[in-house]
A = this chain, B = another copy of it.
Amino acid sequence: MTTTKLEQELSQFKELLKKMKSYEEAVGLMYWDMRTGAPKKGIPARSEVVGVLSGELFKMSVSDEMGELLASLSEADKFSALGRTEQTMVTECRKDYDRSKKIPPQKYQEYVVLTSQAESVWEEAKHEADYAKFQPYLEKIVATNLEFIELWGYEGHKYNTLLDMYEPGMTVAKLDEVFGALREKVVPLLASIQASPHKPESGFLRQNFEKDKQKAFSLYILKQMGYDFEAGRLDETVHPFATGLNPGDVRITTRYLPDDVNSALFGTIHEGGHALYEQNISPELIGTPLCTGTSMGIHESQSRFWENMIGRSRPFWNRYYRDLQANYPGQFDRVAVEDFYRATNEVKPSLIRIEADELTYNLHIMVRYEIEKGLFSGAVSVADLPEVWNEKYKDYLGVVPSNNGEGVLQDVHWAGGAFGYFPSYALGNMYAAQMMRTIRKELPDFDGLIGAGNLLPIKDWLADKVYRYGKSLTPTEIITSVTGEELNPDYLVQYFEHKFGDIYKL
C-alpha cells in the first residue's frame, strides 16, 4: 500500500502540531513553577528561557512549513477527505496562522514590549491610585489593538474581532442582547435584596482558621468532586489558577486567608472545576491544539458551575456542613447549617470584582464590557475612563470608588491588552445555569445526589457532554448539543430569582 500525498501531509501536519504542543507544555510547566516554588534568584534566567521557547513556538506557528501545509490541506478535495477532528485542527490553525501573519513582526514585537512595560507601570499606578501614570500606556495599547483590528478585519463592530479571540463566534450584538436581558432582571432583584429585612448574619465566616485545616478540607472536597490526584496536584499561590499541561497533569493552586473559612475553599472548587474539564478531555486529542477547553466562556462555566451551583447550594451544605464543623472543632458549634448556607450566599454590592458575590459579579463584568465596547467604537476615550468607570459603578452597583486604585485600575487585563476577555466570566455564569437546567432533567435527583455527597455522576455527566470534546466542538456547538438551544440568559435569571428569592425571603 502506498502512502498518499494527503496522508503524508496530514502526518507532517500532526507532527508539527505535536511539536508545538510540546513547547506549550514545557512553557506551561515553567510558568507553574515560577508561580509556585521556583527560587526567586532563578527567575530572570528562567524568564529568558520562557522567552526563547515561546519565540520558537511563535515561529513554528507562522512558519512556511505551517503555511504550506495549511494551504494544501485546505484545498477542497483534501479538506473534505479529512475526518471531523482533523478538519477542526486545520480550521483552528488556519485562524491562528492568518491572524499572526497579518501583523508585521516588528509591530508585534513592539506590542509585546509595550504590554510588558504597561503591566509594570500598571502595578505602580494601581498602588499609587495614579491613573495619569498608566493612561499613556493604555492609549497606545488601545491604538495598537485598533491597528491590529484593521489588519485582521472585522464584521460589524470592531470589538467583535477581539471577542472572537476568547469566545469564538461571540459578537457585540449577542452580548448586548444577553447582558441587556440579564441586567434588566438582576438590577431590580438586587434592589429587592437590599430592601429585604431578612439579611444573613455572616460574622462567623471570619474567625481564625489554621492553614493546614483549610488545606485538608479543600483537598477533601476536591476528592469528592472527582478531581484525580494521580493526574494533578494542589499548590499555593498568590493568584489561584488551574493549568492543564496534559490531561494526565492538570494542576491547581489556591490561596489561604487566615481569617476566612470560604476563600480558599471556593477558590479551590472553582479551579477544581476548570481542572475537571482538562482532566477529562478525550485522550485521542492529546498532542493536538484541540486538547484544551473550547473557549474562555465554556471553561468558566465549569468553574462557576462547581463553585456556585454545586458548592454554594443548600444540598451541598446539608451534606458537607457536618464535615466542615468537624474540620474546625468548636468554631461552628453554634452556627446552624441554614445560617451557614445563607451567609455563604450573602449579596452585597462592592467595588472589587474578584471579591464580588455570585449575583453582583455579573454587573462588574457588564461595566467592563460597556467600556471596552465604547473604547473600540470610539464612543469612550481612554482619558475619560475613570469618570466613565465611576459613573457606571454608581449606575449598575450603586457604589463609587474612592480612588482609581479601587476603580478603573483594579484589574490587570487591560495592561496586558486582554480586551474581550471580561465577558467570558459572565458568559460562564449563563452557560452554567443553562446546563444546570438540562442536567436537572437528565439526572432528576440532582439535588439528592449532591445531598448524598454523590457528586461523581454529575462529573461523569459533564465529562460525557462537555469535557471530552475539548476544543473539537465550538462553544455554540457545545451549548446547543448539551441544552438543545443557544445561549439563553433566562436560565441564569431564573436561577438567581429562585435562589436569592428564597434566601432573602422575597
Contacts and interface: CB of A to CB of B under 8 A. Distances in A.
A48 B29 CA distance: 14
Contacts of A246: 42, 45-46
Interface stretch (A115-123, A228-236, A302-310, A401-409): A228-236
A233 B39 contact: yes
Interface stretch (A19-27, A69-77, A264-272, A410-418): A19-27
Contacts of A248: 39-45
A18, A22, A49: residue with the most chain B Cβ atoms closer than 10 Å = A49
Interface in A90-121: none
Interface of A: 18-19, 22-23, 25-27, 29-30, 33, 37-46, 48-49, 52-53, 56, 228-233, 245-249, 251, 286-287
Given A29-B30, A39-B249, A45-B249, A52 B230 contact: no
5 contacts: A23-B52, A39-B232, A40-B248, A42-B245, A42-B248
A27 B19 CA distance: 14
Contact of A39 (B37, B42, B229): B229
Nearest to A32: B33
Given A33-B33, A245-B46, A287-B48, A230 B26 contact: no
A22 B43 contact: no
A33 to B, nearest CB: 6
The count of identical subunits is 2
A401 B248 CA distance: 42
Nearest to A43: B248
B29 A33 contact: yes
Contacts of A26: 26-27, 30, 49, 53
A230 B41 contact: yes
Contacts of A247: 41, 45
A251 B232 CA distance: 22
A499 B99 CA distance: 71
Contacts of A40: 230, 248
A231 B41 contact: yes
Contacts of A286: 45
A57 to B, nearest CB: 12
Closest 6 CB pairs of A and B: A42-B249, A41-B248, A42-B248, A45-B246, A22-B52, A41-B231
B287 A41 contact: no
Contacts of A27: 26
A39 B251 CA distance: 9
Contacts of A251: 39
Contacts of A53: 22-23, 26
Given A19-B52, A33-B33, A52-B18, A25 B46 contact: yes
B41 A249 contact: yes
A330 to B, nearest CB: 26
A195 B162 CA distance: 83
Contact of A41 (B43, B56, B228): B228
Given A45-B286, A49-B25, A52-B18, A230 B33 contact: no
A65 to B, nearest CB: 14
B287 A230 contact: no
A414 to B, nearest CB: 30
Nearest to A40: B230
Given A39-B231, A41-B249, A42-B249, 19 more contacts: A19-B52, A19-B56, A22-B49, A25-B45, A25-B46, A38-B249, A39-B229, A39-B248, A39-B249, A41-B230, A41-B231, A41-B248, A43-B248, A44-B248, A45-B246, A45-B249, A45-B286, A46-B245, A46-B249
